[in-house]
Amino acid sequence: MGEAVPVDQEPAEQARETVRQLRSLATPAGAAALTRAAELLAARTDAVTALTRLRGEVGVELAGPAWGIARQRDKARTAFGADADRLLFTGDTLEQAGRPVLADRRARRLLSGGAGSAADLGCAAGTDTMALARAGSRVVAVDRDPVARELTRLNTAATGLAGVEVRDADVVDLVAAADGGRVAGCDAAVLDPARRSGGRRLLDPDRWSPPWSTVSTLLDRVPWCVVKVAPGLDHERVPAGVEAEWVSVGGSIVEALLWGRAPSAVWRRATVVARDGAVTELTADSDPGTAPAAPVRRWLHEPDPAVIRSGLVALVAEQLGATLVDPTIAYLTSDSPADSPWVTSYPVTDVLPFNLKKLKALLRGRGVGRVTVKKRGSAIEPEALARQLRGPGEGTAVVVVTRVAGAPTAIVCTVP
Ligand SMILES: C[S@@+](CC[C@H](N)C(=O)[O-])C[C@H]1O[C@@H](n2cnc3c(N)ncnc32)[C@H](O)[C@@H]1O
């Protein structure tokens, strides 16, 4: 949304205006305006023309908000599928929204102990609230932002989910008052702190909203809880008895979770979701330490980022009979390819000290034209180097720039 809200409005007034607009879109006239805006967007109508037409067809009041929501729905479709056309998001709440498939998975595990009620502590547009309700729980959805509360109300209604109470409260206070293993009157809780401010990532967990102190209090007081944290969270922060899980989809980390002491089952868990939706999990009851390092062999294995972030590379090395190329770098090497969901394997053709001229000459000699550059432990810019290495040949190669036994090295591989 946002098109219809003048920028000089005070935040509280702006929020009131956004809530009013959202309510107007939940009427039959609003639904018609949304349908029309979606049609114009699907026809790739430019914003100025679309808004002019919408103003004429559905009125000045509904045109801007309908166009804004249609654009957010378009962005939401990849993660939310057909549901995107029933849901309302602002730009901020869509950016903060997790993937519904993963929210469902989290909700099922959180409720597996039999909790009948769950608090969504910071509900934004209600992704977790809807997942908890779909999993059969009564839900108390809390947010101090009136726009978030309205979105959660409207979204749960639009998806026909019952048993959701939306509450205006400060999560810091609710967690401070948690008692007897319960928070906000519920048996279980999801906490997903805001980790951005002014469009920038907040790297320091003490600056999240609510801050780390609330995260650790919740983990101490409410056994059936799960907290979404930044994927880069320092392992030192994870309290004893709390399982930390990193989830990747299609090779990128999408979320990191700290599980309360009741659902916690292991020390760390790496969850890899393949492009076809298949889920594979790797777990360890304790820190497996660091894998041994040895010279590069015939195959190079790139561990999935969920394996790396969860500290389970040594476990995978053991499974594959592989070693690290350097004690500080998460590339593995072995004599044979790996049929494993935890790594992508590349056949190695050459290993040479990193030198642009020599690398270029070697690739030309091999007839390589197109190069994919990967790096770890090196300051090079992969796209820039790939452009520099591009040649006239027909062949392709993967060039891995990294450290081997402490020395800057290029490992040339064929495309698997
Ligand atoms: C990252 S978003 C939650 C996203 C949501 N789980 C989802 O997947 O769509 C965090 C939310 O917490 C709310 N919030 C932050 N600090 C809060 C506090 N102290 N009390 C209540 N709500 C808070 C923000 O307004 C925001 O809507």
DSSP letter for 311, please: T
Average pLDDT over residues 72-88: 94
Q: Provide the pLDDT for residue 199.
A: 84
Q: Provide the pLDDT for residue 416.
A: 72
Rounded Cα distance, 415 and 374, in Å: 12
- Taking the mean position of all CA atoms in its chain, how far away is CA 60? 37
Distance 206 CA to ligand 1 centre (A): 15
Distance 40 CA to ligand 1 centre (A): 32
Atom of ligand 1 nearest to the CA of 103: 8
**Which residues lie closer than 8 Å to 13 by C-beta, 6 or more apart?**
none
Q: Provide the pLDDT for residue 282.
A: 98
pLDDT confidence bin for 2, thresholds 50/70/90: very low
Distance 201 CA to ligand 1 centre (A): 15
DSSP E strand stretches across 114-267: 117-121, 138-142, 164-167, 188-191, 196-197, 200-201, 225-229, 243-249, 252-259
Is the pLDDT at 6 greater than 50, yes or no? no
The amino acid occupying position 288 is: P
Is the pLDDT at 111 greater than 90, yes or no? yes
Is the pLDDT at 5 greater than 90, yes or no? no
Average pLDDT over residues 196-213: 94
Rounded Cα distance, 215 and 208, in Å: 10
Average pLDDT over residues 255-267: 98
- Going across the sheet that includes 279-284, the strands are 164-167, 138-142, 117-121, 188-191, 225-229, 252-259, 243-249, 268-273, 279-284
Rounded Cα distance, 65 and 69, in Å: 6
Secondary structure percentages of the chain, helix, strand, coil, to 5: 40, 25, 35
Atom of ligand 1 nearest to the CA of 195: 1
Top pLDDT among 284 and 339 is at 284
**Residue of 216, 228, 167, 168 lying closest to 192 (CA atoms):** 228
Atom of ligand 1 nearest to the CA of 190: 6
pLDDT confidence bin for 415, thresholds 50/70/90: confident
Atom of ligand 1 nearest to the CA of 209: 16
> Hey, what are 157's tokens?
């209604």
Distance 189 CA to ligand 1 centre (A): 13
* Residue of the CA atom closest to atom 24 of ligand 1: 122
Q: Provide the pLDDT for residue 275.
A: 82
Binding pocket residue ranges, ligand 1, CB within 6 Å: 96-98, 122, 124-125, 127-128, 142-145, 148, 170-172, 192, 194, 209-210
Distance 65 CA to ligand 1 centre (A): 23
Coil, helix or strand for 29? Answer: helix
Rounded Cα distance, 82 and 211, in Å: 34
Q: Provide the pLDDT for residue 3.
A: 46
Average pLDDT over residues 208-227: 98
Is the pLDDT at 299 greater than 50, yes or no? yes
> Which position has the token pair 């959202």?
22
Atom of ligand 1 nearest to the CA of 148: 27
pLDDT confidence bin for 136, thresholds 50/70/90: very high
Of 143, 172, 183, 201, the one to substitute when testing ligand 1's pocket (max ligand atoms within 8 A of C-beta) is 143
Q: Provide the pLDDT for residue 9.
A: 61
Of 144, 155, 197, 226, the one to substitute when testing ligand 1's pocket (max ligand atoms within 8 A of C-beta) is 144
Average pLDDT over residues 249-275: 95
State what percent of residues in the chain have pLDDT above 90. 94
The amino acid occupying position 179 is: D
Atom of ligand 1 nearest to the CA of 174: 20
Of 102, 120, 171, the one to substitute when testing ligand 1's pocket (max ligand atoms within 8 A of C-beta) is 171
pLDDT confidence bin for 71, thresholds 50/70/90: very high
Q: Provide the pLDDT for residue 10.
A: 73
Q: Is the pTM of this model over 0.85?
A: yes
Rounded Cα distance, 189 and 109, in Å: 12
Mean pLDDT taken over the chain? 95
Distance 36 CA to ligand 1 centre (A): 31
Distance 67 CA to ligand 1 centre (A): 25
pLDDT confidence bin for 1, thresholds 50/70/90: low
Q: Please say whether the beta carbons of 138 and 9 come within 8 A.
A: no
pLDDT confidence bin for 8, thresholds 50/70/90: low
* Residue of the CA atom closest to atom 9 of ligand 1: 97
Q: Provide the pLDDT for residue 4.
A: 46
State what percent of residues in the chain have pLDDT above 70. 98
